[in-house]
Structure 1
Amino acid sequence: MAAVDYFITGDHEAARGLLAQIMQGQGFEVTASPLGGWNVTRGSVGATVWLGAFAGRDKQRLEYTMQFFDSDGMLVARLARTSGAGALGGAIGVSRSASVFTELDQAIGQDLTNRGLLANALHHP
């Protein structure tokens, strides 16, 4: 599993709203998960089942998660990708999932940095 922990200063609810906006701006849908985190998804399951990686970059189903923690008053938002993410698209799909995950990580990190909210980011392979 690959993951990134973003240590975010400021108001926790405002930071959550900002994170949702950033991910939606990258084409992802953000929905609540049963444990209080988010499911972060993009693309079509049907298109990916039928076409695999040929569904294309925007239509291939990609699924990530975001969990939230508190660390010394800072919000920690963990974006994670399981090792099999994109597997419906075969080897190309898995590679694309990793590439899109990196792009999403960069978009989040850049936006939080530009706003002066990112205290730290830890990447886990």
Structure 2
Amino acid sequence: MPMNGAFFMIDLDRFKQINETAEILKFVFCEDDIIGRMGGNEFCVFYTGRNRDEILEAKAAKICEEARKILPVREGKAGTSESIGIAKGYGNEEFSELYRRADRALYVQKFQYGKDGYTIYEQLDEENE
């Protein structure tokens, strides 16, 4: 089934409060969006709104901001680290392709750019793809 919107893969390290994570995602996204837990500290969201970079970046930044409010920095150590991979949907690809791209963006964010941030797959250069 073709998908518009965007797919977020979210990994909140050192964040065991599953219910609090769900509340953050409900706060950032709307009821038309689909929120799911993938396991452990990993969540996903299918965002049904416009997939413009500035909107997606604002959503990702808000997730990070809200997570840090719950587990703030203590004694120089981060309470959480948030890594988010985002893939845009254009209505002409299958969900499996959206998932693959979001997963790749999450991997690049965590292991090449460092935790505590987000990456939109479509902004990756060929070297990172």
Q: Which has the larger radius of gyration?
A: 1
Q: Normalising by the residue count of structure 1, what TM-score does the alignment of the two structures yield? A: 0.42
